[in-house]
Amino acid sequence: MFAARNNDSPAASKSDYISLSINDGTAFGKTTSRSVWRQWNQLSRFQRNICYFAVITLIILVIYLLPGKTQVNTNVDESDYDSAKVVQEYPKLYKVPDEIVIKSVNHNRGNMKESIKEINDNNVDVIDEPEFQPEVNQVDVDQIGEPPQHNMQPLKFSGPQNDRQKAIVRATKFSWDSYKKYAWGHDNVKPITKGYHDWFGLGLTIVDALDTLYIMGMHEEFQDARNWIQNNLSFTQNRDVNLFEVTIRVLGGLLSAYHLSGDKMFLDKAIDLGDRMMPAFSTRSGVPFSDVNLGTRSAHPPKWGPDSSTSEITSIQLEFRDLSRSSKQPRFENAVAQVSEHVHRLEKYDGLVPIFINANTGLFREYAVITLGARGDSYYEYLLKQWIQTGKTIDYLRDDYLFGIEGTEKHLVKRTAVNKFLFIAELLGAARDVKPKMDHLTCYLSGTLALGVHNGLPKRHLELADELLRTCYETYVIQPTGLAPEITYFNIQKTSDENQKDMYVKTNDAHNLLRPEFIESLYYMWYFTGNKTYQDWGWKIFQAFENYTKVENGYTSINNVKNIYNTRPRDMTESFWFAETLKYLYLLFDDTRQLIDLNKWVFNSEGHPLPIYDS
């Protein structure tokens, strides 16, 4: 209905109107429409202005309130906690473009479906595709409620129980005494020149060694470390640190010491550190910057380029999740959960990921290397361990892990030409060319696979774990020193040369940094199988450390594993020597296999045990 009105009279009569009815087929009846318009036009100018004002005011209020905080039921169920997101002062998660949302290039899902059906035998839901997560919404911290808490009591350890464990404790004390004498309060000791090296200036060795000292029953040394942390560890210095390294070493070390000992001082320090690292998540995408200044609370990409390492931004979740649950402050967990969900939605190559990702765009660097070694390794490790840590309640973590292992079996698992040793290769460039090279870091995978099988994942993964572990062992024993190099290359093409070897090492890759990955996997395999062969292998490797890395004042990295007469010591004891290598050796020689219950604890990437939660 259209109406023309004479505005001169506030009390116009019916004769003042001309009505034109049009049968337009709408749902509104003629009589109703005419009545509404007639009543409106009978209002005075003042009355209509009041109505206009009320409507405009209402519209303004709606527009103003729309960007506000979404209200959430304060009675959040524990099962919903992991999907609740907190952004607080940090930006909302960057929405991944629709065209790249999990295409995942999964050319063959047959094995994946069989794997998940096998998992169903362990009371896990069957799925055919990953469960995609919705875009993250902004949520008020105060509306989340308290996260679930673990009920673990502090653990007590009585010290070494057999000769092999006693030998490990002697080595630990010998190395620790050197650090205390020449580098106390600094990041690393230089045992040959009797000096120290600072990387971040956070006393890395002290914090990294805390739980090792505690587990080995080295009470006096633990108390000394504890007192230094209380009185001297400060995060206020104006200095850039690497988010990943500080998270796994310092945050992980503090949280582990807190859970094992029950000393709340460690938790207070961890909360302070966590607060100072949160600015790293202030990016358009939610993918954190690699570098953060703890003193100024600012963050930025690495100096060498715009990208972060994929393994680094996806291997901080265990620590931040635990920090939230221990401190009852969900913002830490929600920040890293966003990162996991974001990466979950990105396109992958049969579950495999490139090793670089841009924090601003949130996208992988196109055609970057795919490897389970440096810059890619712990992405896969933390998928499984987050799933375990959170009570096996976040299915996409498990599924992404399984996709990654399937992609590994399809594209990366190769065998040598002569003895058919199994190794994990790398993929290069757009053509995904195979490079027959494996970092020592990749030897972690055997332990991770065994952990997955223990938690109900496909049993065939244990065969892959065992074969890979055998190859890792060979990288040690074929060297004159009995120590593995940092990188090994493999021959995959059979030649006419009768002396052809399966493995070779380039001069620049012949160093050994006292790394723990092989020992770590030996521990898991011993823990889950009880096969003493793994203990014997570990003892043999320890003897090699004793013979070729032990110096007058501790243990040092060496530059050359290929020559017993010219090992070229580096004069450096990495903090993971205490945090992982020595700890895993000690646990490997635990004949009871009961020191750390892997149904209650999960180790982070630096060997720090954190509790498993129900949800």
Name the catalytic one among 211, 439, 502, 517.
Answer: 517
What percent of the chain is helix, strand and coil (3-state, nearest 5)?
45, 10, 45
How many angstroms separate the Cα of 240 from the Cα of each of 4, 171, 250, 256?
A: 72, 33, 15, 24
Among 102, 99, 70, 64, smallest CA distance to 84 is for 70
| 3-class SS letters over 471-523 | HHHHHHHCCCCCCCCCEEEECCCCCCCCCCCCEECCHHHCCECCCCHHHHHHH
Name the catalytic one among 82, 240, 486, 520.
Answer: 486
- The answer to whether residues 461 and 402 touch, using CB atoms and an 8 Å cutoff, is no
Among 465, 460, 441, smallest CA distance to 534 is for 465
How many angstroms separate the Cα of 336 from the Cα of each of 59, 142, 313?
A: 37, 18, 9
What's the CA gap between 310 and 312, in Å, rounded? 5
Across the strands, what pairs with 504? 489
**Which three-class secondary structure state does DSSP give residue 357?**
strand
The yes-or-no answer on residue 498 being catalytic is no
Tokens representing 508 are 């620049």
Name the catalytic one among 187, 211, 245, 606.
Answer: 245
Name the catalytic one among 377, 502, 574, 590.
Answer: 377
What's the CA gap between 452 and 469, in Å, rounded? 16
What's the CA gap between 195 and 192, in Å, rounded? 8
The yes-or-no answer on residue 78 being catalytic is no
The yes-or-no answer on residue 406 being catalytic is no
Among 531, 522, 535, smallest CA distance to 580 is for 522
Q: Which residues 6+ apart lie within 8 Å of 470 measured at CB?
A: 421, 422
The yes-or-no answer on residue 517 being catalytic is yes
- The answer to whether residues 294 and 234 touch, using CB atoms and an 8 Å cutoff, is no
**Which three-class secondary structure state does DSSP give residue 393?**
coil
Active site residues: 245, 377, 486, 517
